[in-house]
């Protein structure tokens, strides 16, 4: 599947109920929507229904947060336009398997720094990752900054949005894909491991790594040797090391 970028993304934000409704009717990809708490409008329920149907994340926030984003007349609604069109994971796997290849995927669990996210996607595209899977909430926003940090590679990547990462990991396992966690909570070094077959790498957040409930689901856990005085690597650097090591074992 060829990644699709959002050709209508001339502006990263859409303000107001009617413009956002129009954007949804035109199938413009929306990353998320923030709605001012207590807003009253005869069309707000229609908007919320459409957002729910399309599984677009919604946050209810105080008026001050919207004011920090724009001084325009936002009417209590701001939609964040995505530069990429999110692709269903099922479609990715079907196309990869039909092409006779083993899927090579990457899950980012709560990577919130947009620079890290962009750098990871840049490496992912270079190493041939079939899709990057991100949670719908608690992840870096996919906007212009992410595209810039990725050196444009993000526009050439398949991005899948998961609304329940636990269910997504179960789906991957049931699809015959091994889950490989990069974590310090193991004694197995990545250089002592070999990789083949359908594989999904899981990288955790900058703060506390992979969530324990997801770590339990992983088939393999590996870590990167650390021999210096610094105790950890930046997540984008760690992801690059793991992706290329898995790539080496698969080729």
Q: Is the pLDDT of residue 126 over 70?
A: yes
Q: Which residues contact 167 (CB under 8 A, 6 or more apart)?
A: none
Domain count, the chain: 2
pTM of the model: 0.87
Residues 156 and 180 in one domain: yes
Phi-psi region of 97 (alpha: psi -120 to 50; beta: other; left: phi over 0): alpha
Q: What's 67's domain CATH number?
A: 3.30.1330.30
Residues 53 and 156 in one domain: no
Residues 45 and 148 in one domain: no
Q: Which residues contact 169 (CB under 8 A, 6 or more apart)?
A: 107, 179, 202, 214, 217
Residues 143 and 229 in one domain: yes
In a domain, 8, yes or no: no
Residues 112 and 202 in one domain: yes
Q: What is the C-alpha separation between 122 and 105, in angstroms, rounded?
A: 14
Nearest to 223 by CA among 178, 199, 191, 197: 191
| Enclosing domain of residue 57 | 13-81
Q: What's 216's domain CATH number?
A: 3.40.1280.10
pLDDT attached to residue 9: 42
Give the pLDDT confidence of 1-49 residue by residue, as tens digits.
555 545 444 458 898 888 998 988 888 889 899 999 988 877 888 888 8
Q: What is the C-alpha separation between 214 and 183, in angstroms, rounded?
A: 11
Give the pLDDT confidence of 37-91 residue by residue, as tens digits.
988 877 888 888 889 888 898 999 998 988 888 777 788 899 999 999 999 999 9
Distance of alpha carbon 76 from its chain centroid, rounded? 26
Q: What is the C-alpha separation between 103 and 131, in angstroms, rounded?
A: 9
What percent of the chain shows pLDDT beyond 70? 95
Give the pLDDT confidence of 139-184 residue by residue, as tens digits.
998 988 999 999 999 999 999 999 999 999 999 999 999 999 999 9
The helix (H) or strand (E) run that includes residue 79 is strand 77-81
């Amino acid at each position: 599947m060829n990644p699709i970028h959002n050709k209508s993304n001339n502006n990263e934000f859409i303000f107001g109920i009617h413009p956002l409704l129009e954007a949804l009717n035109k199938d413009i990809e929306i990353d998320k929507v923030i709605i001012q708490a207590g807003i009253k409008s005869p069309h707000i329920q229609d908007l919320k229904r459409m957002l729910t149907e399309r599984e677009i994340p919604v946050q209810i926030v105080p008026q001050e947060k919207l004011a920090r984003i724009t001084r325009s007349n936002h009417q209590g609604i701001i939609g964040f336009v995505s530069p990429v069109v999110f692709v269903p994971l099922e479609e990715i796997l079907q196309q990869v398997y039909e092409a006779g290849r083993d899927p090579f995927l990457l899950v980012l669990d709560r990577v919130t720094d947009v620079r890290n996210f962009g750098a990871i996607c840049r490496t992912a595209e270079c190493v041939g990752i079939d899709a990057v899977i991100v949670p719908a909430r608690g992840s870096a926003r996919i906007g212009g900054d992410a595209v810039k940090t990725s050196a444009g590679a993000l526009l050439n990547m398949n991005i899948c949005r998961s609304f329940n990462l636990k269910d997504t990991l179960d789906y991957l396992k049931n699809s015959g894909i091994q889950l490989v966690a990069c974590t310090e909570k193991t004694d197995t070094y990545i250089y002592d491991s070999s990789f083949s077959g359908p594989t999904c790498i899981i990288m955790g957040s900058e703060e506390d790594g992979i969530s324990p409930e997801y770590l339990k689901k992983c088939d393999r856990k590996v870590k990167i040797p650390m021999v210096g005085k610094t105790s950890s690597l930046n997540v984008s650097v760690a992801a690059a090391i793991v992706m290329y090591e898995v790539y080496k074992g698969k080729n």
